[in-house]
């Protein structure tokens, strides 16, 4: 399948380049060939468990020839939204990874572990998130703290199947408090704005690639990118047909491929 007029890509990571420890060789080979040919690529992930350097190191280990400045993570998007929502002196409870903690501090905000003094909560995926931390997040949110979620992906692709993602933990806090968070990552357009700025291209020159209809495809469609679903992760043809049949046009991709080797650009 050839996409004409595309000069850049916004590419998801989990379920597209790898799933847990499993690397999709065809994706690595395709990405390297495209970048060698001059295609600009930014890796945009909702996963907030790692910083850009860590994720770049993982992609390089997978065999992708890229640099950390090509990465935008859920932690970066979440901290970006948070810093533009709260007052500078607001103390933030971080319900997530060390990478999310660093990203919040990099925005000049103070981090606290005390749910009573927290004026804001930012929630992102981390395998180390404990039930106590969810309790603390819910406590702060119920007291009126500003609440930002890096994303609401319900599941996370792994080598053995789908694990609970950040959305599952966010839903727990939402059910407990009766509140809903501001969402920073895909499918919200803010993360795509960051990606387009990094690429130096307009939306019409860029394709968005991912494995989820409700985040990658919906986000690309909302942002005006050409949307491509790759069926190596969570969703495939059955889900596309279901979305089309239900009239959920925003979640229907412009293109569907079985793996990235089926794509070329002109």
The pLDDT tens digits for 53-94 are 999 999 999 999 999 999 999 999 999 999 999 999 999 999
Alpha carbon separation from 55 to 10, 50, 99, 185, 257 (Å, rounded): 15, 6, 11, 16, 25
Q: What is the pLDDT of residues 97-151, one digit of tens each?
A: 999 999 999 999 999 999 999 999 999 999 999 999 999 999 999 999 999 999 9
Within the chain, strands assigned E span 2-3, 8-11, 18-19, 22-23, 40-44, 71-72, 91-95, 110-111, 120-123, 146-149, 155-158, 161-164, 182-183, 206-210, 226-230, 255-257, 264-265
Predicted confidence (pLDDT) at residue 239 exceeds the cutoff of 80: yes
Q: What percent of the chain has pLDDT over 90?
A: 90
pLDDT score, position 138: 99
86-114 burial: b if 16+ Cβ within 10 Å, else e: beeebbbbbbbbebbbebbeebebeebee
Q: What is the mean pLDDT of residues 165-180?
A: 97
Q: Give 161's pLDDT tier (boundaries 50, 70, 90).
A: confident
Which residue among 14, 153, 211, 216 is the active-site one? Answer: 14
Predicted confidence (pLDDT) at residue 157 exceeds the cutoff of 80: no
Predicted confidence (pLDDT) at residue 244 exceeds the cutoff of 80: yes
Predicted confidence (pLDDT) at residue 163 exceeds the cutoff of 90: no
Which residue among 12, 101, 153, 211 is the active-site one? Answer: 12
pLDDT score, position 166: 95
Provide φ and ψ at 16, rounded to 5°: -115, -55
Assess whether 14 carries a catalytic annotation.
yes
Tell me the average pLDDT of the chain.
95
Predicted confidence (pLDDT) at residue 153 exceeds the cutoff of 90: no
Predicted confidence (pLDDT) at residue 159 exceeds the cutoff of 80: no
The Cα–Cα gap between 242 and 219 comes to 18
Q: Which residue has the tokens 């380049």?
A: 17
Domains assigned to the chain:
2-46+186-265 (3.40.50.1000), 78-183 (3.40.50.1000)
* Among candidate residues 53, 55, 46, the one with its CA nearest the CA of residue 75: 46
pLDDT score, position 79: 96
Look at 8-22, 44-58, 72-86, 158-172 and tell me which has the smallest mean pLDDT: 158-172
Predicted confidence (pLDDT) at residue 266 exceeds the cutoff of 90: no
Predicted confidence (pLDDT) at residue 252 exceeds the cutoff of 90: yes
Look at 149-158, 176-185, 242-251 and tell me which has the smallest mean pLDDT: 149-158
- Residue 14 DSSP symbol: B
Assess whether 21 carries a catalytic annotation.
no
């Amino acid at each position: 399948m050839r996409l004409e007029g595309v000069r850049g890509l916004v590419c998801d990571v989990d379920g597209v380049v790898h799933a847990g420890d499993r690397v999709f060789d065809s994706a690595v080979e395709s990405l390297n060939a495209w970048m060698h040919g001059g295609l600009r690529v930014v890796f945009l992930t909702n996963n907030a468990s790692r910083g850009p350097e860590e994720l770049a190191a993982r992609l390089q280990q997978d065999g992708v020839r890229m640099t950390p400045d090509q990465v935008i993570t859920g932690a970066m998007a979440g901290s970006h939204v948070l810093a533009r929502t709260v007052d500078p002196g607001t103390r933030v409870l971080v319900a997530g990874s060390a990478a999310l903690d660093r990203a919040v501090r990099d925005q000049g905000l103070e981090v606290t572990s005390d749910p009573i003094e927290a004026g804001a909560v930012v929630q992102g995926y981390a395998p180390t998130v404990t039930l106590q931390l969810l309790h603390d997040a819910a406590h702060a949110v119920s007291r009126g703290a500003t609440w930002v979620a890096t994303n609401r992906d319900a599941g996370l692709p792994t080598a053995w199947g789908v694990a609970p993602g950040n959305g599952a933990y966010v839903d727990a806090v939402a059910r407990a408090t009766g509140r809903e968070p501001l969402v920073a990552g895909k499918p919200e357009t803010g993360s795509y704005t960051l990606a387009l700025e990094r690429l130096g291209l307009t939306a019409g020159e860029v394709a968005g690639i991912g494995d989820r209809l409700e985040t990658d495809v919906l986000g690309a469609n909302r942002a005006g990118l050409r949307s491509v679903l790759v069926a190596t992760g969570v969703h495939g043809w059955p889900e596309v047909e279901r979305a089309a049949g239900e009239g959920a046009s925003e979640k229907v991709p412009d293109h569907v491929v079985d793996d990235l080797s089926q794509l070329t650009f002109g």
